[in-house]
Amino acid sequence: MTRQVKRAFKYRFYPTGEQAAELSRTFGCVRLVYNKALEDRTRAWYGEQRRISYVQSSAALTQWKKSEELAFLTAVSSVPLQQALRHLQAAFGNFFAKRAQYPRYKSRKKSRASAEYTRSAFTWRGGRLTLAKMAAPLDIRWSRPLPHGAEPTTVTVSRDPAGRWFVSLLCEDTLAPAPATTAAVGIDAGITSLVTLSTGETISNPRHERRDRARLARAQRELSRKAKGSNNRAKARVKAARVHARIADRRRDFLHKLSTRLVRENQTVVIEDLTVRNLLKNGTLARAISDAAWTDLRMMLEYKCAWYGRELVVIDRWFPSSKLCGPCGTVAAKMPLNVREWTCGCGAMHDRDVNAARNILAAGLAASACGDGVRPQRESSRTGRSSVKQETQRATAGTPRL
């Protein structure tokens, strides 16, 4: 049975000088409106205990445009400015629902330069996209086709720190479920091997950041030697950003291929509920954990399973997957990171990662049979432990194998 989903198709484009100037002005105005609206909301709440709604912020935007100081806001399309206010409203909604922290101001240097256009602010004719305030369509490189007959409902234009321009088109797409299969797989995330499957297969960690570490270090050294505020420093910053972009692109491409393969081949995928934020507190392994990008892999598995009719089961982060002997059910007292193979008292010999993946699969299938996709998490206050997975804590005896 097919289903309708909204998908974003991202392409690179090359703007003309006029288009680049117009988009740069729009990015600046979007950032200004967002920050000013956030400032007003913060002042009203902490000073008067009064909340400001989106409607009130929109009315304030109209008054800002009439003032002499902010009259330049009228030079760009009004739609991206209104969308910035909607994004701020959503950020506050997430904050009050305790799904996110308090909204932060957008920095000129660190925040993502982007602008969102709705239907009223762009023209789509014959496969050519023209944004508001522009006379010519964007020069988009169509690396893949849009769904047949699909038209974008929302367009987001962005520029990354490396100076590359991208346009993301949100379209309705019809997806058919993947062919049914009885296969199921448990996945144990790691550092030496990016993932180990319950089938015994290990997928090595490409270590994208390590491959370009020397190039990145050289670019950052050159950046640090340039005078602040100089044109040479701006050029050096772009060179360093290009190295980061190269690493991120390769990592994203690898994770997309891996997640797609796992979803296509298996009806049920079982993973652990890792708390990556806490894992990064381990100073020895933080860099390797960041490079592994386990959170990105989980996110891809989540939406791809939903798209193609697969089941994703997430088990409790406290489940002793590495210390549990599958055949007899015995849980080892300790399992330092340097122990990669171990023998249970029942005589069973285990590879640490393969055993963990098989235990994860068994626990996930049991939870799925009970209709519980996520096993209940243990309160950390009971044991006095932080929610850091035991397997990634540095052992006092021996050095972990990375």
User: What is the tens place of the pLDDT at every residue in 137-163?
Assistant: 999 999 999 988 889 999 999 999 999
Task: Give DSSP secondary structure letters for 291-360.
Answer: HHTHHHHHHHHHHHHHHTT-EEEEE-TT--TTTB-TTT--B-S---TT--EEE-TTS-EEEHHHHHHHHH
The chain-wide mean pLDDT, for the chain, equals: 88
CB 62 within 8 A of CB 85: no
Whole-angstrom distance, CA of residue 15 vs CA of residue 167: 11
CB 68 within 8 A of CB 148: no
Q: Indicate left, alpha or beta for 147 from its phi (over 0: left) and psi (-120 to 50: alpha).
A: beta
Whole-angstrom distance, CA of residue 286 vs CA of residue 392: 10
What the block records as the tokens of 330 is 């015995």
Average pLDDT over residues 235-252: 95
Q: pLDDT (tens digit, 9 = 90+) per residue, 176-235?
A: 889 989 999 999 998 889 999 999 999 999 999 999 999 999 999 999 999 999 999 999
- Catalytic annotation on 209? no
**Which of 22, 116, 272, 391 is flagged as catalytic?**
272
**Which of 22, 209, 291, 353 is flagged as catalytic?**
353
Q: pLDDT (tens digit, 9 = 90+) per residue, 37-90?
A: 999 999 998 888 888 999 999 999 999 999 999 999 999 999 999 999 999 999
pLDDT band of residue 283 (cuts 50, 70, 90) is confident
**Which of 22, 116, 188, 209 is flagged as catalytic?**
188
pLDDT band of residue 396 (cuts 50, 70, 90) is very low
Note the pTM of the prediction, 2 decimals: 0.83
What the block records as the tokens of 177 is 């479920």
Whole-angstrom distance, CA of residue 316 vs CA of residue 364: 9
Whole-angstrom distance, CA of residue 196 vs CA of residue 173: 33
Whole-angstrom distance, CA of residue 336 vs CA of residue 352: 11
- Catalytic annotation on 188? yes
Q: Which residue has the higher pLDDT, 335 or 185?
A: 185
Checking if the pLDDT of 24 tops 70, the result is yes
pLDDT for res 339: 78
Q: In whole angstroms, how large is the CA radius of gyration of the chain?
A: 25
